[in-house]
Structure 1
Amino acid sequence: MEEPPLASLSLTHVHYNPNDPISFISAWLALVPQALCVMYVTVIWASREVEVFLMFAGQMLCEALNFALKRLIREERPQQIYGKGYGMPSSHSQFVAFFSLSLTLFLLVRHIPNQSTSYSSPTFMERATLSFLACMCSGAVSISRVYLNYHTPRQVLAGYAAGAIFAIFWFFFTTYLRRAGWIDWALDTQLARMARFRDLVVSEDLVEAGWQRWEAKRKLKRREGSDPSRKLN
């Protein structure tokens, strides 16, 4: 019996020119959205921070918006390209635009580090530098889509604009949820408590709490090691 032809899983299947170093780098940049999704899930699982969860929820809604826009506009991709589906707007550009602007708004507007702790929280300039690098990387991902001929410049610009606009909308929406008390209400639910969700990253560096506990444990261990009576006991 004749077997059916095999299909290709195009999620990470990127065509590029092997003789062109820029094309090779662009192919790797095409994997940034997948890497960011892995990062989202990892940070949510490790930190249980509701702010990261909200950002990931906005990222997924932004993807749903892109899915709807593509099927509403129905503009084809550039000619002589292997990509499937519609090209307007670029999903890669929309994805990274939302991420970079959401991170920038968090670092420069929402994040207010607690300076009363002994740990030196990142300065405003350091947070601004990180935001700038995130925006530069998102621009590189968007340009790579044009370079690989997966999208036209117009499709990339439209995707970037859609991602940026949705990031601003989502920031104001989550700000409303915070000010109206909905976040505190959600964190008090049994499900959130079972999952151990918390809301510390807005006012505290993620490294701070763990570092303080580690330093206290090391100081206690040193004191116990230098006390002869404890060794005898």
Structure 2
Amino acid sequence: MASMGECSAPIQWQAVSLTHVEYPTDDLTGKLLAWLSLGPIFILVGFVTLIVFKRELHTISFLGGLLLNEGVNWFIKNIIREQRPCEGTHPALTTEYGMPSSHSQFIWFFFTYSFLFLYLRMHQTNNARFLDLLWRHVLSVCLLTVAFLISYSRVYLLYHSWSQVIYGGLIGSIMGIAWFVFTQEVLTPLFPRIAAWPVSEFFLIRDTSLIPNILWFEYTVTRAESRNRQRKMGTKLQ
């Protein structure tokens, strides 16, 4: 098991395939945490995929907040310049500074913003109130668990100290709250105007901020359109 306080112990490290994330050889827990620590990369890929296929302004804004959060992390790191624990343990790292943890700051920004979005922005429009609340609670608990595990993985794998992870989480949470408020109070009122720009129309960029629950809206509209087309096809075949 790799954890802080074991810097002097000889550990043979093995990289996750096609990445520079390392975990102790023959350590199953370390391997699982190493894969889990790639979560921010998967999240970014997911955002790019959503933007390409959905072209929705709020999703673009969410990604912009994540990128700004990364910029703030880089700025703070280069001001504080605190070394990582067990210096030299991971020579493949692209930066030697560890305060605050970028992984922790990223995932807690993502969790905080997502939590606020789920409970303050999304509203179900049907009568399934119990199921609506249930899936929000389940999703929130899952996101919270992932945030804790990714933060813990950075300490377990000797990439960061506990203080670096905790401060990263605090900064990410504050950034998440601030960006959510900025998006709702400043950007959202501008979305209809931005969506009407010629360049937005060319790239099919849309504004769904006035729709309480986009998933429910798309489901109902798609279902209605599908039934309408089925009726038309049935009429033609008669």
Distance in 2 between residues matched to 1:22 and 1:12, nearest whole Å: 18
Query: Which residues in structure 2 correspond to 1:126-137 (within 5 Å)?
Result: 126-137=135-146
Instruction: Supply the distance in 2 between the matched residues of 1:24 and 1:87 (Cα, whole angstroms).
Output: 21
Greater Rg over alpha carbons, structure:
1
In structure 2, runs of 5+ residues without a counterpart are 1-14
Q: Structure 1 residue 194 and structure 2 residue 202: aligned?
A: yes
The two structures, once aligned, show a CA RMSD in angstroms of 2.7
Q: CA deviation at 1:112?
A: 2.2
Map of 2:182 onto structure 1: 173
Q: In the alignment, which of 129, 150, 168 is matched to residue 141 of structure 1? A: 150
Question: What does residue 34 of structure 1 align with?
Answer: 41
CA positional deviation for 1:213:
2.4
**Alpha-carbon distance change, 42 to 160 in structure 1, aligned in 2, over 3 angstroms:** same
Q: Report the Cα offset of residue 26 of structure 1.
A: 1.1
Report what 1:87 is aligned to: 98
Q: Distance in 1 between matches of 2:228 and 2:205?
A: 29
8 Å CA contact retained: 2:36, 2:150 = yes
CA spacing shift, 1:107–1:92, aligned 2, 3 Å? same
- The percentage of aligned residue pairs carrying the same residue is 32
Aligned residue for 1:124, secondary structure, equals helix
Q: Which runs of 5+ in 1 are unaligned?
A: 1-7
TM-score for both structures, normalised by structure 2: 0.82
CA–CA distance in structure 2, aligned partners of residues 147 and 108 of structure 1: 32
TM-score w.r.t. the length of structure 1 is: 0.83
Change over 3 Å in CA distance of 1:41–1:56 after alignment to 2: same
- 1:46-85 alignment, distance < 5 Å: 46-79=53-86, 80-82=88-90, 83=93, 84-85=95-96
Change (3 A) 1:142 1:128: same
CA contact (8 A) 1:77 1:87 kept: yes
Checking the alignment, whether the CA contact within 8 Å between 1:43 and 1:52 is kept in structure 2 is: yes
Cα gap change, 1:219 to 1:185, in 2 (>3 Å): closer
Match of 2:20 in 1: 13
Report how many residues are paired. 218
Measure the CA separation in 2 of the matches of 1:17 and 1:140: 17
Deviations 1:61-83 (A, max 9, x none): 00000000100000000115213
Deviations 1:133-184 (A, max 9, x none): 11110111000000000000000001111100000110111121156x3222
Distance 1:190 1:231, change over 3 A: closer
